[in-house]
Amino acid sequence: MRCSCFGGPSVDKKRGSAAETLHGIDGDLLQDVNHISYNELRSATDNFHSSNKIGRGGFGDVYKGTLRSGIQVAVKTLSAQSKQGAREFLNEIKTISNVRHPNLVELIGCCVQGANRILVYEYLENNSLDRALLGSRSTNIRLDWGRRSAICLGIARGLAFLHEELVPHIVHRDIKASNILLDKDLNPKIGDFGLAKLFPDNITHISTRIAGTTGYLAPEYALGGQLTMKADVYSFGVLILEIISGRNSTKPSWGGMEKLLLEWVC
């Protein structure tokens, strides 16, 4: 696997410094991934200053930063206490470190140094789709019908690439508005592959633990743990309803009857 660093942030070529860091890290998995030093990331984010914080995930904070090369990046830190986060950290590297597509967020590199586990992505100027749809009305983002249609098509292209063109195929498992990021031109990019699963060509389904977000889970997956690529398609359908309606699928809010979005549609 290989990961482009766009202009060359400092890269740790010493396998030992990466391998010494975390129990359970597979050295082979990190062999060809760019290692950006902790010192550079600390400098890039002004020592992870709160003014550079642009989001918070389930297992850590996300900061905006500028590498020495001048490239702007999103720096996702991982809580050292999170075992599930550690699994997702490794899964993300395994899944997308060598994947490139206009509608997928690009993983630039990682930091595995001391107790630090950090993923470094391309920076997307307009943050997440859920903020554009459901955030403060003070935002400057205006999503007319043409733009909403273009966002749906872009997400569909990204999913088609994951499901049909990549070998092995990838099932994302957590398609939702907060995992769709928007660049400066409001082009959508699918991000957060921590729960993703690889699907070899000869496999039609996988029996696995249920993971994802309530409100987006396909019924057959949520009830039986049978994962297919159709699980992503179902989640995408829910997301389309959110994009069309401007409503959150996970919070009851329809007409005084406190119905969920899917209940209202059905």
Residues of the chain with CATH 1.10.510.10: 129-265
Residue 180's pLDDT band (boundaries 50, 70, 90)? very high
* Residue 94 counted as an annotated binding residue: no
Higher pLDDT, 21 or 99: 99
Alpha helices in 28-144 (DSSP H): 38-44, 83-96, 129-134
CB 182 within 8 A of CB 191: no
The class of domain 15-122 in CATH terms is alpha beta
* Mean pLDDT along residues 216-234: 91
Residue 7's pLDDT band (boundaries 50, 70, 90)? very low
3-class SS of residue 137: coil
Residue 1 has pLDDT above 50, yes or no: no
Q: Is 28 a catalytic residue?
A: no
Tell me the C-alpha distance between 250 and 259, whole Å.
10
Residue 15 has pLDDT above 50, yes or no: no
> 138 φ, ψ to 5°?
-75, -10
Provide the whole-model pTM.
0.83
Tell me the C-alpha distance between 177 and 135, whole Å.
11
Structure tokens that stand for 184 in this block: 């400066």
pLDDT of residue 148: 97
Instruction: From the candidates 12, 174, 192, 232, give the one annotated as an active-site residue.
Output: 174
Strand partners, 198: 170
Residue 206's pLDDT band (boundaries 50, 70, 90)? confident
Pick the CATH number of 129-265 from 1.10.510.10, 1.25.40.10, 3.30.70.100, 3.90.700.10: 1.10.510.10
Residues of the chain with CATH 3.30.200.20: 15-122
Strand partners, 76: 62, 119
Flag the least confident range among 68-77, 90-99, 172-181.
90-99
